[in-house]
Amino acid sequence: MTVDSGSASRLVEAPEDASDFFDFAYENGWSDGLPVIPPTAARVDSFVEYVGRDADEVVAQLAPSGGEATIRNIATNAVMAGCRPEYLPVVIAAVQAVAVPSFDLHSIQVDVNASTVLVVVNGPIRDSIGMNYGGDALGGSNRANATIGRALRLTLRNVGEARPPFSDVAIHGQPGKISMCLAEDEAGNPWEPWHVERGFDASESVVTVAGVTGTQNIITGVHPRDGMLALIGDSITTLGSNGVLLGTWAHGGPVVSFSRGLARLFAKDGMSKQDVQQGIYECCQKPKAQMPPTMRPSRMDQVIQHDDAVWGVREPSQINIVIAGYDSPNHVCLMPNYGVSSIISKQIDIPS
Amino acid sequence: MATTVVYNPGAESSTSAQTFDVVAGALAGKTVSLLDNGWSSYLVAGPLLKEILTERFGAEVVEYHKDMTSPLNEEDLTRVREDSALVITWLGNCGGCTSWSVHDGTELVKAGVPSVSFVTESFVPLAGIVARGKGVANMPLGVLPADFEQMDAAEQRAAVTVSFEQVILKLRITEPEAATVGISA
């Protein structure tokens, strides 16, 4: 049994046994290395029926192959990832978001960097599909978070055809290339939810995608408020990071996840989200003298420099604060930016 | 073995790639554009290519500088498209830079401008996939060793010289008549 490469999203014969099907899917390059659910016609059709859209509707073209993402092939990948039908609208919106040119999927899909896509979900759909914005929001405990992120990655792999070793040349890759998705804790957020900050109405369900290079834990709990901000700013300004070395190219910026407990500490002190961004920004600098020399002087043009310092971000608004996690204020999760990629938000079309 | 029927998760269709006749021919008196995307090796390769193209082929060389992670801007692309008899994009040596460097090359090939993208060995397969995704089945590549960027200047000059000889054959770049470069018999 073989699958014709570049074949249509058409029906093919495959083993019925779950373990044999996994072998079949893996051998044909469909899987990320983890087991997948067989995308039978009945399963895929039920997903398409749920969203009530034409199965052949093309919603995006995905780099590097320029493959057309249709409702059907996104649904197929969502089934394989383990999604429920009601997650599909989120996955479709995420696929559309990553295909926006300024997201630079062209680079993120194929790059040597450990780049991947962070998916953040806001609005009422978070609760209606049971997403996790509490403890372990990015970890392995919630079906919606895990499988929505995975469905996007499988779609990028199978439709965009970014596959190692030839069309995805990541030197190390990272676990977030399997799945990286969370929802924002809007009820616990003392400030505006992220999607509202980005121009949407609070009642809208929105998916936001960001190109990131992983996660970095920052222990904030044992420091005074200004010390917390200093540690976050220092971490953003790690000299070898993409955020610093490609700083002038960056359109997006790092995503910094505060727990509701930490956000409320700052809010209790009368600080707005903008105040916190400003406080972090002021610590996003390191003496220029700490930078090692470059082989080509013009490469320093890519580093944000002023006041005899190199900077991790261009301006405070590039520090994207998202609320998620346990109540405890002890830790912050920094998701450093990949570099050039813009952060893109897309309203989720929820079937009536 | 019991079987079932499943959907293929791949694309139903993708950009169809065409084969282009990429021939540069004689370059004497014509413009060759070098698109530098910031790799340090350009400091060696740029002057060397310039020297070969002007002294051996009688071409005029114009250099453009861009960053690694985006396409050539529209204004420069238009100028390059209108002015160039040959375009050399430098350098595919990572995922993003290969993607965008080859992207620029394919845009020009599709517009009928002979172009070649230099890439290091590790990124040749990716360059082919990107080019096909952009609709060019036979994007000409100049191939350099995988560790090219880490070589010293003498090694880099040698590698560029060898690779460019292949490009000359591939793009059928022809030597000028003696009179064209001012040498009388």
pLDDT digits (tens, 9 = 90+) for A3-29: 444 434 489 999 999 999 999 999 999
Nearest CA in chain A to B149: A295
pLDDT for the residue B15: 65
Task: Check A11 against B6: CB less than 8 A apart.
Answer: yes
Q: Which of A63, A68, A246 sits opposite B12 (nearest CB)?
A: A68
Place of tokens 């199965």: A55
pLDDT for the residue B14: 61
B181 Cα to chain A: minimum distance (Å): 34
Interface of A with B in 8-47 (CB under 8 A): 8-17, 20-21, 30, 38-41, 44
pLDDT for the residue A222: 82
Q: Please give the average pLDDT of every successive group of 10 residues along chain A, which has 352 residues.
A: 46 96 97 98 97 97 93 98 98 98 92 95 98 93 97 97 90 95 97 98 98 96 91 96 88 95 96 98 96 82 90 96 95 93 96 90
Query: Chain A contacts of B3, Cβ < 8 Å?
Result: 1, 13-16
Q: Is B126 on the interface with A (CB under 8 A)?
A: yes
Write the single-letter amino acid at B9: P
Residue B178's pLDDT band, with cuts at 50, 70 and 90, is: low
How far apart (Å, rounded) are the C-alpha atoms in residues B160 and A80? 46
A278 Cα to chain B: minimum distance (Å): 28
pLDDT for the residue A6: 40
A24, A95, A112: best mutation site toward chain B, by most B Cβ within 10 Å? Answer: A112
On whether ipTM exceeds 0.95, the answer is: no
Average of per-residue pLDDT across B43-58: 97
Nearest CA in chain A to B130: A64
How far apart (Å, rounded) are the C-alpha atoms in residues A210 and A224? 30
Nearest CA in chain B to A74: B9
Exposed, middle or buried, A35 (CB in 10 Å: 0-12/13-18/19+)?
A: middle
Q: Is B38 on the interface with A (CB under 8 A)?
A: yes
Three-state DSSP class for A291? coil
CB burial string B13-44: b at 16+ within 10 A, e below: ebbebeebebebebbbebbbbbbbbbbbbbeb
pLDDT for the residue A187: 97
pLDDT digits (tens, 9 = 90+) for B94-141: 988 999 999 999 999 999 999 999 999 999 999 999 999 899 999 999
